[in-house]
Amino acid sequence: MFTDDYKETPYWWERTKPPVMEEGTLPQKTDILIIGSGYTGLQAALQTARAGRETLVIDAEHAGWGASSRNGGQVSTSIKPTYAELEKKYGRDLAIAILTEGKNSREYTEEFIRTEGIDCNFKCVGRFHAAHNSVSYEKLAKGITPQLPGLETEAYMVPRSEQRSELGSDSYYGGVVFPNHGSVDPAAYHRGLMNKALEAGVTIIPHCKALDLSCEKDGFAVKTARGVVQAKKALIATNGYSGSLSPWHRRRIIPIGSYIIATEALDPDLMNRLMPKDRIVSDTRRVVYYYRPSPDRSRVVFGGRVSLGETNPRKSAPKLHASLVRIFPELKETKISHSWMGFVAFTFNTLMNVGEQDGLFHAAGYCGSGAGMAGYLGMRIGQQMLGLKEGDTAFNHIKFETRPFYTKKPWFLAPSVMYYRMRDSINI
């Protein structure tokens, strides 16, 4: 099952090793303090530093340790609810604005990587979103037509009879192709972004957990593991790793573990059979699987949710392998070289949220689709911290919802996963 050199760290860290940075001295004061050094925090920092504000980013672990260097690298338009669902809840204008932000985030990510010259294998490979039963196939077909004027999404159906042109598997009932979705090496993207932030004059202090935050007359006093820092403005950019620091945010973010494996290197002919078009792939199960070839097309990187509660990479690996083999029986004897996990942040309305609460800025709740969106909204919240009008987003105008009795642990998660897994397994 495991290769001799099997590791429980992200496959991406082979190319982009965790950064070794000087620990540095924590400044006593700063204009802008950003807590969390993933895509959200660093894109915000880039904005404020380039506008001449003294900007400090702290992270409890090494820079980029969170989801930004662990994710599947699938870059999409990131909005989960459909237009009909959004329109019913928020009205036509806001529904359109939300979907437009999804498109903006996808465009921004590619444009940012290109114009900044970041070497991170961004490729517009397209997504094959596979139907796990015939009802889902029909739903997908209905979902792509007719399209709203101005919000047309390039998409076409691939029936089961032609599925092998997309995927070397007979386990699905066809699917839809979104040619505009892309893939990226997530840790290399993070590293390129981090280097840009450092070049712009951002100070990054790793291994410096924010422990307590108090609002003062001229901003915030933040107690950290390495001393106290006063900041005129502060941003919480901790997403799926948000702990007790801000109870208001904790009540609105649902951290959920997502688990990934990478296979050992495959024979190139086998890879060409399994994933001939280099697409990123996901499916219509409620407990979704997402997978893709590695940037050099040597391995399959395969992720999903494996158990009702959280587990560890050693236990999740065989379960993911079994699911992988159900899709690609040819991989039965293929070994696993890497297994890891990370936390995504879900929200009660399955939408991200951006804004300011009691003077503290936030951008969070990407619901597992932050590879592009987190950086885009990080950029926007950075603009908001500068007081720029263009920073405003559709997500500033929706409520950051919570639920009664939700204060710490998502007690409702295990029953929901069990319910959805049961539905998936009986194919409804």
Ligand X SMILES: Cc1cc2nc3c(=O)[nH]c(=O)nc-3n(C[C@H](O)[C@H](O)[C@H](O)COP(=O)(O)OP(=O)(O)OC[C@H]3O[C@@H](n4cnc5c(N)ncnc54)[C@H](O)[C@@H]3O)c2cc1C
Q: Which residues bind ligand X (CB under 6 A)?
A: 35-41, 58-61, 65-68, 70-74, 209-210, 237-241, 243, 245, 258, 260, 290, 303, 342-344, 366, 368-372, 374
Q: What is the 3-state secondary structure (H, E, C) of the chain?
A: CEEEEEECCCHHHHCCCCCCCCCCCCCCEEEEEEECCCHHHHHHHHHHHHCCCCEEEECCCCCCCCHHHCCCCEECCCCCCCHHHHHHHHCHHHHHHHHHHHHHHHHHHHHHHHHHCCCCCCECCCEEEECCCHHHHHHHHHHCCCCCCCCCCCCEEECHHHHHHCCCCCCCCCEEEECCCEECCHHHHHHHHHHHHHHCCCEEECCCCEEEEEEECCEEEEEECCEEEEEEEEEECCHHHCCCCCHHHHCCCEEEEEEEEEECCCCHHHHHHHCCCCCEEEECCCCCEEEEECCCCCCEEEEECCCCCCCCHHHHHHHHHHHHHHHCHHHCCCCEEEEEEEEEEECCCCCCEEEEECCEEEEECCCCCHHHHHHHHHHHHHHHHCCCHHHCCHHHHCCCCCCCCCCCCCCCHHHHHHHHHHHHHCCC
Q: Which residue's CB is nearer to ligand X, number 36 or number 295?
A: 36
What residues are paired with 216 via a beta bridge? 219
**Cβ at position 262, least distance to ligand X in Å:** 12
Contact predicate 254/410, CB 8 Å: yes
Q: Which residue's CB is nearer to ligand X, number 13 or number 273?
A: 13
Q: Which residue's CB is nearer to ligand X, number 45 or number 95?
A: 45
**Cβ at position 209, least distance to ligand X in Å:** 4
**Cβ at position 149, least distance to ligand X in Å:** 27
Q: Which residue's CB is nearer to ligand X, number 32 or number 87?
A: 32
Q: Which residue's CB is nearer to ligand X, number 239 or number 284?
A: 239
Q: Which residue's CB is nearer to ligand X, number 174 or number 186?
A: 186
Choose among 342, 313, 368, 401: nearest CA to 74: 368
**Cβ at position 248, least distance to ligand X in Å:** 14
Termini Cα distance of the chain? 31
Q: Which residue's CB is nearer to ligand X, number 121 or number 258?
A: 258
**Cβ at position 370, least distance to ligand X in Å:** 2
What residues are paired with 282 via a beta bridge? 129, 290
CA separation for the pair 404, 414 (Å, rounded)? 18
**Cβ at position 419, least distance to ligand X in Å:** 22
Phi, psi for 393 (deg, rounded to 5): -130, 165
Q: Which residue's CB is nearer to ligand X, number 130 or number 260?
A: 260
**Cβ at position 42, least distance to ligand X in Å:** 7
**Cβ at position 58, least distance to ligand X in Å:** 5
Look up residue 49 and give its amino acid: A
Q: Which residue's CB is nearer to ligand X, number 87 or number 301?
A: 301
Q: Which residue's CB is nearer to ligand X, number 86 or number 237?
A: 237
Specify the residue for token string 């597992």.
368
**Cβ at position 40, least distance to ligand X in Å:** 3
- Return the residue nearest ligand X (CB atom): 370
**Cβ at position 294, least distance to ligand X in Å:** 13
Q: Which residue's CB is nearer to ligand X, number 271 or number 381?
A: 381
**Cβ at position 327, least distance to ligand X in Å:** 17
